[in-house]
Amino acid sequence: MQILGLDIGGANIKAATADGESASVAFPLWRAPQDLSAKLSSLRLLQNSHPDMIALTMTGELADCFATKAEGVRRIVESVETAYPGVPVRVWLTSGEFAEPADAVELWNLAAAANWHALATWSARAVPSGAGLLIDIGSTTTDLIPLLDGHPWISGRTDMERLLAGELVYTGVRRTPICALADSVPLRRSEPNGEVAQIPLAAEFFATALDLHLLTGDTAEDAANCDTADGRPATREWAANRLAHQICCDSTELEMWQLREIADWLVERQVQFIVAAVRRQLITLQRELAVSGREGELIQPLVSGSGSWLAERVLEASAARMLATADLSGMFVRNISASAAAFAVARLAAERCLDDLLPISPEVI
């Protein structure tokens, strides 16, 4: 039986099979929602074979091409059914179960933004007893999911509730606009010990977190990737120019060391932003351990996502006493961190939905 997991977001489509094949492709859903079916049909997994079941989760329902999340869930579900005619589709809900497409459309509030819940449900088995904290940093957002005794221990289920609880932090390693990280940055006029002035940032979409991590060397250059703020390649040269635009100049007016200093400073801002949210979740977990008579037990941190390397830096900066960090890629058949939620939903479907694919015995009728 071949089960294909799909995690459809507003900017990317993640796909994975239950045995670890995976793909992550850029697809700006808000620009062309009518093309989603065709894009899904073009995905080549399972060595081009036909899947027996689709396990679906999503966050793309919030894309502004849809008037409401209910519309977004319906359109995404319909697109998947169109892309895979005749293939059973099961949709993960934040209630911790799969639903058939029609039920998922009706229960849109449970189907919307459920990918984090699928990942947490799957990965929580890495902490069968005691407390854990899953830190999943992606291209756009960071999920901070408390775990307790093998289950998600969450305060919120919708994105709004999770934002209020600090379990969803709207910052990631690629798509976060620079002007969302700070109002101004320090600019040194001469090295090594020149005067530093705080210069305001333009409130424009000139550069993103991807440019920062390119300049610091934490992200590799990819000249073929033009999914950037200005549509030019994801190289350090162009990243420098995009970052310079944030202070209303271009890279010919500054030295590379100046731009690197700004990038380092902004990355530290992003780290501290996430650290503050991590500490809030650790306090919640420590309080729960104390209530259950397990005060003093160390918490197990788990990291995943395309920004798992940044999650490790966040944990180091938090200076909290915890167990050694575990990278969830170790739970996977292959290193598919960038498609972790798609893999998780495929594995959950393999465990829970195979009976849906089995023929009914005449003796049972």
Check pLDDT > 80 for residue 109: yes
**For the chain, percent of residues with pLDDT exceeding 70:** 94
Residue with tokens 């999770």: 162
- d(CA 327, CA 346) in angstroms, rounded, equals 19
CATH superfamily of 129-327: conserved archaeal protein q6m145 (3.30.420.190)
- d(CA 351, CA 96) in angstroms, rounded, equals 13
- Topology match between the domains 3-113+333-357 and 129-327: yes
Check pLDDT > 80 for residue 347: yes
| Three-state secondary structure call for residue 365 | coil
Alpha helices in 15-54 (DSSP H): 36-41
pLDDT of the residue at 193: 82
Q: How many CB atoms lie within 10 A of CB 28?
A: 14
Residue 222, beta-bridge partner list: 234
Q: What are phi and psi of 198, to 5 degrees?
A: -85, 120
Structural domain boundaries of the chain?
3-113+333-357, 129-327
Check pLDDT > 60 for residue 204: yes
Nearest alpha-carbon partner for 258 in 187, 196, 194, 184:
187
pLDDT tens digit sequence for 141-175: 999 999 999 999 999 999 999 999 999 999 999 99
- The structure tokens listed for 171 are 């910052």
Check pLDDT > 70 for residue 358: no
Residues 131-137: what's their mean pLDDT?
96
Check pLDDT > 80 for residue 46: no
pLDDT tens digit sequence for 217-273: 999 999 999 999 999 999 999 999 999 999 999 999 999 999 999 999 999 999 999
pTM recorded for the entire structure: 0.91
* Single-letter residue type at 97: E
Q: Which CATH architecture has domain 3-113+333-357?
A: 2-Layer Sandwich (3.30)
Tell the burial category of 197 from Cβ atoms under 10 Å away from its Cβ (0-12, 13-18, 19+). exposed
- d(CA 338, CA 9) in angstroms, rounded, equals 13
**Mean of pLDDT over the chain:** 92
Check pLDDT > 90 for residue 355: no
Check pLDDT > 90 for residue 361: no
Kind and range of the H or E element at 15? strand 12-17
- d(CA 320, CA 310) in angstroms, rounded, equals 16
- Measure Cα distances from 140 to 17, 75, 176, 273 in Å: 23, 22, 6, 14
- d(CA 260, CA 276) in angstroms, rounded, equals 24
Confidence class of residue 191 from pLDDT cuts 50, 70 and 90? confident
Residue with tokens 């209020």: 164
SS3 letters across 285-313: HHHHHHHCCCCCCCEEEEEECCCHHHHHH
pLDDT of the residue at 335: 63
- Measure Cα distances from 4 to 62, 105, 252, 266 in Å: 23, 20, 48, 38
Would you say 244 and 237 are in contact if contact means Cβ atoms under 8 Å apart? no
pLDDT of the residue at 334: 64
- Measure Cα distances from 259 to 79, 177, 244 in Å: 43, 16, 7
pLDDT of the residue at 359: 46
pLDDT tens digit sequence for 269-302: 999 999 999 999 999 999 999 999 999 999 999 9
